[in-house]
């Protein structure tokens, strides 16, 4: 039958897909593994996980390619490469911000930033509550990250207000290359 003739093709495609996922799956060193473990809290019951529905930035390399809106929605850039499907700032050595907005306000438990090109320039992450108050949930010096693509996982335990936006600040002057961001996930509780 036609299905029997196509079965080897479907099996080969499934095998290739599985191999593709394995190839592009980010790897983490021992110091990052402990941080990855905290992301499991986002998978527990009662946690809302969401991708940004809108994005804006202090600068963009171009529009629509590399625009801030490329960082909205779920990840779609799975390799370590310069891709039009991720946000890039106007210059590779700039100090820039990316704002991600979400449909549902949540008491935040974590932010996952998907970076696909020269990760390591994120120096500050803030969450924004419903009246516009900013809460800093991460600050660090810029430093190259050996893993690429890279999911920067930022656990949050200090904010008790509902938030519906995340502001990511990059200092690209240290690495001197574009730190492209493909997506940002916000996880939290409704109550």
Q: How many other CB atoms sit within 10 Å of the CB of residue 185?
A: 22
pLDDT at 71: 98
Separation between Cα atoms, residue 118 and residue 23, nearest integer Å: 18
Which pLDDT value is given to residue 169? Answer: 98
pLDDT of 37 reads 36
Quote the pLDDT of residue 47.
87
Cα–Cα dist 52/69, whole Å:
9
Report field, pTM of the whole predicted structure over 0.75: yes
- Write out residues in the chain with pLDDT < 50, as ranges: 1-39
Contact, 129 vs 163, CB < 8 A? yes
């Amino acid at each position: 039958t036609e299905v029997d003739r196509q079965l080897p093709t479907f099996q080969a495609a499934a095998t290739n897909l599985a191999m593709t996922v394995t190839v592009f799956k980010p790897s983490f060193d021992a110091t990052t593994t402990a941080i990855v473990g905290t992301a499991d809290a986002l998978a527990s019951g009662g946690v809302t996980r969401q991708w940004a529905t809108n994005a804006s930035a202090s600068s963009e390399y171009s529009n629509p390619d590399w625009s801030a809106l490329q960082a909205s929605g779920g990840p779609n850039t799975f390799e370590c490469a310069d891709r039009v499907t991720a946000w890039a700032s106007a210059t590779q050595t700039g100090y820039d911000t990316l704002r991600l907005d979400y449909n549902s306000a949540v008491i935040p438990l974590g932010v996952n930033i998907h970076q696909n090109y020269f990760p390591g320039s994120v120096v500050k992450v803030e969450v924004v509550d419903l009246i516009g108050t900013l809460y800093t949930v991460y600050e660090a010096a810029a430093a190259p990250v050996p893993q690429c693509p890279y999911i920067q996982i930022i656990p949050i335990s200090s904010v008790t207000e509902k938030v519906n936006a995340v502001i990511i600040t990059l200092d690209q002057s240290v690495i001197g290359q574009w730190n492209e961001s493909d997506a940002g996930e916000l996880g939290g509780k409704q109550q």
